[in-house]
């Protein structure tokens, strides 16, 4: 993320002042808006072997390949409860983002990073991997000045499709920007998800209204704070808006369904250029005979077709029929093929 420019203006991993300021006030040490810490942790034993001012190699944990060189400017221990309560609004270790923080080493290393490799993503997802300067150039080429980003870690069902189509109506185009980094257990792999999303785009969107791309972020499931991070990143990619639906980047019951909407209203003037395109809960209504939102549909929930991601996975694992009101048949066929291959 640092190497591709998605984390601009960060030049490396945060020092103690930046970390504390981001946790408490959503600002870097210099006052620039930033909502979630970007830090590098190490064990106390390893940190004791590193001197301030020393250059260290940052290696891929699996392959051992050197990814970057870091000039260590700081070593500091952190209050993990302080970080979790501010960023995640909970210290519950069952929360996947909190769990990640609690499992980090005892010491953070801060300092600038010189990136040597962006990893496997450029080759593995050659048709999806766009750097910010590439997406910006693509938008200019298409004549798009108003672009809405859609963040996803899942194949898009009809509610997601509807969100994107609302955005197409009020902007020049939609940038479907999916997560290529680490996900939760049970999530659909990126290559399968990509095929499913492309099938939806090819069959149900007008040509040249949607661009599909991906980036190697790792989800934190930080709800409102993560919605802000997603908007800031899309600002780097040249997007004027971020589609923010129900429980954006949430998990479990840690956040209210529209907390991610409200947090944009709490920002100070000039914090973000990219704005939230706030959309209510979406579903298929049998009385409306079409897609609708809780803001537009007057009918009782018994007329709504709305399936959770967990329910959909269970249905796919059991080869059950998924109603076309919920997901497009071309998408379902690709997902069923994947689940059949896992048996």
- What pTM does this model have? 0.95
Q: Measure the CA–CA gap between 100 and 13, rounded to whole angstroms.
A: 17
Q: Measure the CA–CA gap between 244 and 165, rounded to whole angstroms.
A: 13
127-341: in CATH 3.40.50.620: yes
153 is an active site residue = yes
89 is an active site residue = no
> Which residue of the set 153, 220, 225, 328 is catalytic?
153
Domain 12-119: give its CATH architecture. Roll (3.10)
Ordered DSSP codes for 301-333: GGGEE---HHHHHHHHHTT----TTTS-HHHHH
Q: Measure the CA–CA gap between 235 and 42, rounded to whole angstroms.
A: 31
> Which residue of the set 154, 195, 275, 313 is catalytic?
154
What are the pLDDT tens digits along the chain (343 aa)? 999 999 999 999 999 999 999 999 999 999 999 999 999 999 999 999 999 999 999 999 888 999 999 999 999 999 999 999 999 999 999 999 999 999 999 999 999 999 999 988 888 898 899 999 999 999 999 999 999 999 998 889 999 999 999 999 999 999 999 998 766 667 788 889 999 999 999 999 999 999 999 999 998 999 999 999 999 999 999 999 999 999 999 999 999 999 999 999 999 999 999 999 999 999 999 999 999 999 999 999 999 998 777 788 888 888 999 999 999 999 999 999 999 998 7
| Domain ranges, ordered by start, for the chain | 12-119, 127-341
Q: Where are the alpha helices (DSSP H) in 41-172?
A: 44-48, 80-87, 96-102, 121-124, 132-142, 158-170
Judged on CB neighbours under 10 Å (0-12, 13-18, 19+), 316 is buried
Q: Indicate if 127-341 has the same CATH topology as 12-119.
A: no
């Amino acid at each position: 993320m640092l190497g591709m420019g998605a984390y601009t203006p960060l030049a490396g991993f945060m020092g103690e002042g930046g970390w504390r300021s981001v946790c408490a006030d959503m600002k870097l040490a210099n006052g620039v808006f930033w909502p979630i810490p970007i830090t590098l942790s190490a064990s106390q034993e390893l940190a004791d072997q590193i001197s301030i001012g020393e250059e260290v190699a940052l290696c891929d944990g699996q392959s051992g390949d050197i990814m970057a060189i870091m000039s260590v400017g700081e070593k500091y221990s952190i209050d993990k409860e302080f970080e979790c309560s501010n960023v995640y609004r909970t210290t519950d270790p069952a929360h996947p983002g909190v769990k990640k923080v609690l499992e980090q080493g005892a010491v953070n290393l801060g300092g600038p990073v010189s990136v040597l490799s962006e990893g496997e993503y450029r080759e593995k997802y050659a048709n999806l991997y766009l750097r910010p300067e590439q997406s910006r150039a693509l938008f200019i080429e298409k004549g798009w000045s108003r672009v809405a980003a859609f963040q996803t870690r899942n194949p898009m069902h009809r509610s997601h499709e509807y969100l994107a189509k609302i955005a197409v109506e009020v902007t020049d185009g939609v940038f479907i920007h999916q997560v290529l980094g680490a996900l939760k257990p049970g999530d659909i792999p990126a290559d399968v998800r990509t095929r499913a999303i492309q099938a939806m785009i090819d069959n149900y969107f007008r040509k040249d209204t949607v661009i599909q791309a991906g980036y190697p972020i790792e989800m934190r499931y930080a709800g409102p704070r993560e919605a802000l991070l997603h908007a800031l990143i899309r600002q780097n990619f040249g997007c004027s808006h971020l589609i923010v639906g129900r429980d954006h980047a949430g998990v479990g019951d840690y956040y209210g369904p529209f907390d991610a909407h409200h947090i944009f209203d709490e920002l100070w003037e000039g914090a973000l250029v990219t704005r939230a395109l706030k959309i209510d809960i979406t579903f298929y209504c049998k009385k409306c005979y079409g897609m609708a939102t809780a803001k537009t549909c007057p009918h009782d929930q018994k007329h709504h077709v709305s399936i959770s991601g967990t329910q959909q996975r269970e249905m796919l694992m059991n080869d059950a029929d998924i109603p076309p009101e919920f997901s497009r048949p071309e998408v379902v066929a690709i997902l069923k093929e994947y689940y059949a291959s896992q048996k």
